[in-house]
Amino acid sequence: MKLTLLWTDIMVWFLVISLLVWSRVISRSPQVKKQWHTIFKSSIAMASAIILLFYLLFTLLDSVHLRFSTQPTETKSEKVQYQGEIVSLLDLIFAHNIKSTERTYSAPFATHEYAMSIVVDENGVTKQEYLPLKHVGDGDDIVGQSIYAVFIGLIISGVLILVHMVWRKKRGFKSELPWRTAYLTLLFLVVTFSWFYILSYYYHVLGTDKVGGDVLYQSLKSIRTGVLIGILTTLIMLPVAIILGVSAGLFGGWIDDVIQYLYTTLSSIPGVLLIAAGVLSMQVMMDNNPGWFESTLERSDLRLLFLIMILGITSWTGLCRLLRAETLKISQIEFVTAAKAFGVGKLTIIRRHIIPNLMHIILISVVLDFSGLVLAEAVLSYVGVGVDPTMHSWGNMINQARLEMAREPMVWWSLFSAFVFMFILVLAANLLSDRIQTVLDPRNKL
Amino acid sequence: MFAYIIRRVLYAIPILIGVNLITFILFFMVNSPDDMARAQLGAKQVTPELIQSWKEDKGYDKPLFINSKTGGINTVTDTLFVQESLKLFSFNFGFSDANRDIGSDIKERMVPSLAIALPTFMIALITNISLALLLVLFRGSALDTSMMIIAVMIMSVSGLFYIIAGQVLFSKIWHWVPISGYESGWGGIKFIILPVMIGVFAGIGSGVRWYRSIFLEQINQDYVRTARAKGLSELRVLFGHVLRNGMLPILTGVVVVIPTLFMGSLIMESFFGIPGLGSYTIDAINSQDFAIVKAMVFLGSVLYIVGLILTDISYTLFDPRVKLS
């Protein structure tokens, strides 16, 4: 067994670690701590945060890739041979779903295929009938299995909540945060997941797609794609936007002119077209350099990385413009003038006075952009300039299912699952960003 | 005024040159003329001579930025970049891979695009502003809060869902309107209704929230308090003062969009089979037709810049405090 980290894996782990470090650093400031406290006082914000964490957990599980060694052969070579196939932790958890592919479409919890097939029975008579699915139970004990699954879910969430309560008591927090909402959300999520998970051993809980793949597994795999596009794009564009925005606002003169020219030019190109042009060129480039990747997984990963970079290039302009205007405003305020008069260096002024006062703008735009990017992924995949067609993503799921709309009765489950998974993520992000905006934006003093 | 407009137009030129440079880098440096020739001619019979003759045929045989063979000013002008940019600046978009004149294609397809985009824009503007005014009138009430929650939910659903759900409900199940297609003249209305309604509904969440925040910013101003103190009714205050003063920030967001309406909507047009510029672009992307994508990028940027200039001009018309200098 060998750990194989893809490029995006490395970036997502780097991001998580730097977020942890950052939260450690800012928790030293009592003022910032109080702000976050106010944010999470709202039960909606708390519930949204728990849901987002749940999605993040799946992303992280799907971002640890392993490569198993093949069975030891007779020839005693010292070198361990590795399989070409790379699997993530999430794949291991859902191994039974990967194996149990059916022939074609089947509805959620179905025991038979969705469409009739022509069979010839032993008497040589040709007839049409619904073939039974290969990898499902008989559908008898669904209630018993559900009760068992919910019970397991309750135990797991109960233990988690208990541990947290004990830990809280030990730390002696006297916080008035809405912990009850948090516990209820967690309970709901864990029970739902355990119900889906345990029943997925007996049924295709959300049905199967055209080639018989399990839709629940696909939807869960798509989480990583969506979340990655949402957060890594921001990670790439943030430094550019901050550096250019602050220097344009602070230094003025020709630097300001050049930076303004840069972002006006970039933002005057229609976004989708710039992305399309970038992705098309990237495709040609990747076709010309097949040596950059070894497997299809690495190829689709590289394509995702390029897509994220292109999205980053097109999306920094808005934030940059905001930061420039705000820096211009802040640098006129007395405390910056005073710092200048004391002979404080420019870098120190930026670090001490400007960046902390820009933090709320950066944060708000990061959370706001996140939901927009998750939704954009679906549209881009539809246009044909999104992630690799072999990669699991909500956009690809919608795109494939869309072609089946004309069928009677409709194949609705792929579309439905993709939209629901996307809706929950985006709704949680939107609600949280609303709350952050209300608390942090100084214009919103209630 | 006139001098100002001239200056703004002149200022747009370096931006358009920048846009050209970006598209040029994307289309000619990453994807060199040799690559294009190979992709066009097919993998089988590619000989260096064939590539050369294809490049000469398309005019791609010049060096990218600096032509050292010719002397004087020609060193810079007789290059691929300058030649291509000049063509675009004169709105000569050349021919697509399928050998169709892109310029006349664009002219032809602008009308269907506008037939969808213009009604969507107008209806959305009116509904969003009236809904926002209604919410501001009842601000802080249960109606306001519940509508705001609904708005966030509408925002959080993928636009693709509205299109698919709309097509299934209104065309497949209820058979009210045809599922897709287009017809010029009044007979085309039955094709236009559904995409317009879906377009309006999909934008209602973010639209209402945006206008509401603009109006709420106005409602705490001193002049509103004065108006109320004069004894004006809340409705008069809302329409006479809040709406009129809110027009200014609304203008910034709205006027810039108007020229880009010509570009049409990518997703809408391809779902509803409308032969506009949006579906034109999507088809070009799918068939990797670089010439069309390049033309659309340039056209989109020109329209956006026209929108920026129009925004500035409309400012002077609506706000006497703003003087162009």
Mean per-residue pLDDT pooled into runs of 10, chain B (325 residues)? 83 87 77 70 70 73 70 69 79 77 88 91 94 90 91 91 89 84 81 92 92 88 88 86 85 85 85 89 82 86 90 79 63
Q: For chain B, how far is it from start to end, CA to CA, in angstroms?
A: 9
Q: B158 and A419: CB-CB below 8 Å?
A: yes
SS3 of residue A120 by DSSP = strand
Is A420 an 8 Å CB contact of chain B? no
How close A287 comes to chain B (CA, Å)? Answer: 10
Q: Which residue of B has its CA nearest to A405?
A: B168
Write out the E strands in A186-277: none
The pLDDT score that the predictor gives to residue A54 is 92
The reply to whether ipTM tops 0.90 is: no
Give how far Cα B27 sits from Cα of A133, A281, B64, B290, B300, Å: 49, 7, 11, 7, 17
Task: Name the residue facing A281 among B18, B31, B164 (closest C-beta).
Answer: B31
SS3 of residue A325 by DSSP = helix
Q: Which residue of A has its CA nearest to B161?
A: A419
Give how far Cα B53 sits from Cα of B45, B48, B57, B80, B311, Å: 13, 9, 6, 16, 47
Q: B22 and A276: CB-CB below 8 Å?
A: no
Dist CA B221 CA A446 (whole Å):
15
Q: Which of residues 173-202 of A touch B (CB under 8 A)?
A: none
Q: Which of residues 232-271 of A touch B (CB under 8 A)?
A: 261-262, 264-270
How close B257 comes to chain A (CA, Å)? Answer: 11
* Chain A residue numbers touching B164 (CB-CB < 8 A): 398, 402, 405, 415
How close A377 comes to chain B (CA, Å)? Answer: 10
Task: Name the residue facing A269 among B153, B282, B301 (closest C-beta).
Answer: B301
Task: Name the residue facing A273 among B286, B296, B308 (closest C-beta).
Answer: B296
Q: B156 and A270: CB-CB below 8 Å?
A: no
Q: B30 and A284: CB-CB below 8 Å?
A: yes
Dist CA A200 CA B262 (whole Å):
49
Give how far Cα A216 sits from Cα of A97, A186, A196, A209, Å: 9, 20, 8, 10
Dist CA A194 CA A129 (whole Å):
34
Return the closest-CA partner of residue B253 out of B159, B130, B125, B135.
Answer: B125
SS3 of residue B178 by DSSP = coil
* Chain A residue numbers touching B294 (CB-CB < 8 A): 277
Return the closest-CA partner of residue B121 out of B322, B256, B219, B311.
Answer: B256
Task: Name the residue facing A273 among B14, B281, B308 (closest C-beta).
Answer: B281
The pLDDT score that the predictor gives to residue A446 is 45
Task: Name the residue facing A269 among B19, B156, B172 (closest C-beta).
Answer: B19
Q: With contact defined as beta carbons under 8 Å apart, do A420 and A207 qualify?
A: no
Q: Which residue has tokens 């997925």?
A: A200
Is A371 an 8 Å CB contact of chain B? yes
How close A16 comes to chain B (CA, Å)? Answer: 25
Mutation for A interface: B31, B158, B261, most A CBs within 10 A: B158
Q: pTM to 2 decimals?
A: 0.89
Is A96 an 8 Å CB contact of chain B? no
Work out how many CB contacts closer than 8 A connect A with B. Answer: 125
Q: A277 and B157: CB-CB below 8 Å?
A: no
The pLDDT score that the predictor gives to residue A127 is 77
Other C-beta atoms closer than 10 Å to the C-beta of B235 total: 10
Task: Name the residue facing A434 among B19, B152, B168 (closest C-beta).
Answer: B152
Non-local (6+) Cβ contacts of B114 within 8 A are B261, B262, B264, B276
Residues in chain B: 325
**Paired tokens of B2:** 């006139």
Q: B304 and A268: CB-CB below 8 Å?
A: yes
- What is the Cβ-side half-sphere exposure of residue B179, based on CA atoms within 13 angstroms? 12
Q: Which residue of B has its CA nearest to A432?
A: B152
Q: Which residue has tokens 């040609």?
A: A284
Dist CA B77 CA B85 (whole Å):
10
Task: Name the residue facing B156 among A394, A427, A443 (closest C-beta).
Answer: A427
Non-local (6+) Cβ contacts of A437 within 8 A are A364, A368, A444
Per-block mean pLDDT, blocks of 10 residues, chain A (446 long): 81 89 85 85 91 93 82 54 73 80 78 77 78 71 84 91 87 76 92 88 82 86 91 88 90 89 88 84 78 78 89 89 90 86 85 84 86 90 83 88 74 88 94 88 62
Q: A269 and B167: CB-CB below 8 Å?
A: no
Q: Which of residues 251-270 of B touch A (CB under 8 A)?
A: 260, 263, 266-267
Q: A269 and B152: CB-CB below 8 Å?
A: no
SS3 of residue A170 by DSSP = helix
Non-local (6+) Cβ contacts of B254 within 8 A are B125
Dist CA B32 CA A288 (whole Å):
11
Return the closest-CA partner of residue A35 out of A442, A443, A427, A362.
Answer: A442
Amino acid at site A106 = S
Q: A405 and B30: CB-CB below 8 Å?
A: no
Q: Which residue of A has its CA nearest to B291?
A: A277
Is B175 an 8 Å CB contact of chain A? no
